[in-house]
Chains A and B, each alone.
Chain A
Amino acid sequence: MQQQGGNAIQVQRLTKIYRGKRGRPDVLALDKVSFHVGWGEFVALLGENGAGKTTAIKILCTLVLPDGGEASVAGYDVVKHEDVVRSKIGWMHGETGGRALYWRLNAWDNLRFFAYLQNIPRDEASKRIRALVTYFDLEDYAGKLVKDYSTGMKVRLMLARTFLSNPDVLLLDEPTIGLDTSAAYETRRLLKLVNEELDRPILFTSHNMFEVEKLCRRLILIHKGRVIADGPPSRLTAELSKADAVELKVASAPDALEILVQEGLVRELLKTEFDGETSTVIASVRDLREAFSAIPSFLVGHGFRLMSIKIAEPSLEEAFIRLTRE
């Protein structure tokens, strides 16, 4: 792989506004977003639905034109050198649930068609297609029309198509959506290998935090079109743990602990678990020091049996929820 200097993906103050039609308001999808993905990095672009992830990915794969800022892939500007960028990327949009395939063709022909578009020589294409069809467990169905495939099979075929040309940079929008446990596991394994062994940079989006923690060394959290966090998952959770969350164990049903919110002692109950006797609650607070003095005395004063209180170590999922809610 020819690596240009700098980063595999460089995004600088990228702005995208979808103009409202027929009196509808404009939508600011990306608001001066900046981030980068280095060569060999595996980075997750996270955010709630509508946060701007897909817009960012589509700008990077030249399907959407930005209104401001700059973006480059493999050192090439996505607007000025769109043709070169297209020859460098492998893009997959899992959210389509396999729609972006030719349903009246079988798997062989779908991949063969894409090989033509990618200018892969015939013999080489045949070899790659056979290997990918086998790897993604599509052999038994490869001769059947895609319209008869399950969603998981379609997603696997889209993944096979993404890898066909051995792209320099992978842009994967929810690549494991709709896959069963086994296929999702194999896909994650392949992504990790492609990233580590082939040194391919990967920018991917997912709503599956387990997957993100498993795969990514860095994550970029995007919310309402802005980057609100960028760093390793551990740093994100560690920073949040220092900030403002406590974990309480109380011998009571969790509903009763809503009183803590009503009394203003905690801001929000982020997570509650109840094992039949004890509730474990993670709650965000305004001030840790104040929480450690006020909550125990309040609970004891109101007849609760407080078993422990400590600073909470949020999971990535909790961190995501807290950051996006703020």
Chain B
Amino acid sequence: MISLDAEEILASIRSPYEKSGSWFGQAWGVFWANSKVLFSYRTWLATELLGMPVSVAIYFFTSMLVVKPSLADAGYGTDYLSFALIGVSMTNFVWVTIVRLSHTIQHEVEDGTLEVVLSSPTRMSAYLVGQSLRGLLLGGIFFIATMLVGVTFFGASLRTDAFTLLYAATLILFTLFANLGIGVVAAAVILVYKRGDPVVFIVSALTEFLSGVVYPLKLLQGFPILQQISIVLPYTYGLEGVRHLLLEGATLQATTILYDFMVLLLYVLLLYPTAFYAFRMSFDRIRREGTTASY
């Protein structure tokens, strides 16, 4: 049945080699394998991409109903489609990236594949970064596709010169990094409770509602408590900044943009150590409970 002799396989196994010992190699491996898994679901991917023009069309027609002076009053011009397009596509980008991390960990616990990873010399940070990069790739594809559909087919009016796009890409990545800390906390919770995703649910609901995704933040001025909550959410700063860049052509030197960057940096510095510590604690807890897999 087996064509290779056992002695040959022994010779192959015993041949010495230098371990590469690379954190990047492990992170890349996690990213590469999980991306392949994700893109093997071709029907799902095609459906998601085909659904994009529909969601953009909804905002296109909504824009006809929106009272434009309130937008102009908030400093976003009068084009609601462009305003909403940035809000919705960037929100999707952030949440696809974050949700992917916790959902993948949920699946890996159920399938038992997480045990294989955890019993190997994989650095936990490499695993989390690799998984996050996979979400980033998927979210990025959806984001770019949505923006292209909005600009090309529905006439969204965005600044598209090279510098503005570069500034916007930088701020979007910063926003993602700040929010990925929340994703790691969500993954830590999933690790212990296996089902449900309370962290992502709560933060995404608050963000979509209070970060000015589909309406200008100025509208919250009449609701002080809601406004206070919106100020605490890191996403609020990223979205504000990107809108200023893409709708008004602000530069990185602008005070408001610098302020957004600083706040996001603060979140990165605060959230990451907390998030990685939470993940480590969850990992140790499931090891105490003997629930590294739930097959």
Contact = CB atoms under 8 A, between A and B. Distances in A.
Interface of A: 16, 18-19, 29, 55, 58, 61-65, 67, 83, 86-87, 89, 91, 93, 96, 99-105, 109, 112-121, 124, 127-128, 131-132, 134-137, 139, 145, 161, 163, 166, 182-183, 186, 189-190, 193-194, 197-198
Contacts of B9: 131-132, 134-135, 163, 190
Contact of A116 (B8, B13, B32, B111): B32
Given A96-B295, A100-B113, A114-B120, A186 B6 contact: yes
Contacts of B10: 193-194, 197-198
Given A63-B115, A63-B287, A197-B10, A113 B3 contact: no
B116 A182 contact: no
Contacts of B41: 104
Given A58-B290, A86-B120, A135 B4 contact: yes
B221 interface: no
Contacts, number: 156
Contacts of A131: 4, 8-9, 12-13
B115 A93 contact: yes
Interface in B169-190: none
26 contacts: A58-B292, A64-B288, A64-B290, A65-B287, A96-B295, A99-B111, A100-B295, A104-B37, A112-B29, A112-B33, A113-B30, A117-B30, A119-B22, A119-B26, A120-B17, A120-B20, A124-B15, A127-B12, A127-B15, A135-B2, A137-B2, A139-B3, A145-B40, A189-B6, A190-B9, A193-B10
A115 B1 CA distance: 26
A115 B293 CA distance: 22
Interface residues of B, number: 49
Contacts of A145: 40
Contacts of B1: 137, 182-183, 186
A116 B20 CA distance: 9
Nearest to A189: B6
Contacts of B122: 86, 117
Contact of B121 (A65, A119, A134, A194): A119
B270 interface: no
Given A83-B121, A102-B113, A117-B117, A18 B32 contact: no
B229 to A, nearest CB: 34
Contacts of B276: none
Closest 10 CB pairs of A and B: A116-B29, A100-B112, A113-B33, A131-B12, A87-B121, A135-B9, A134-B4, A119-B19, A104-B37, A124-B17
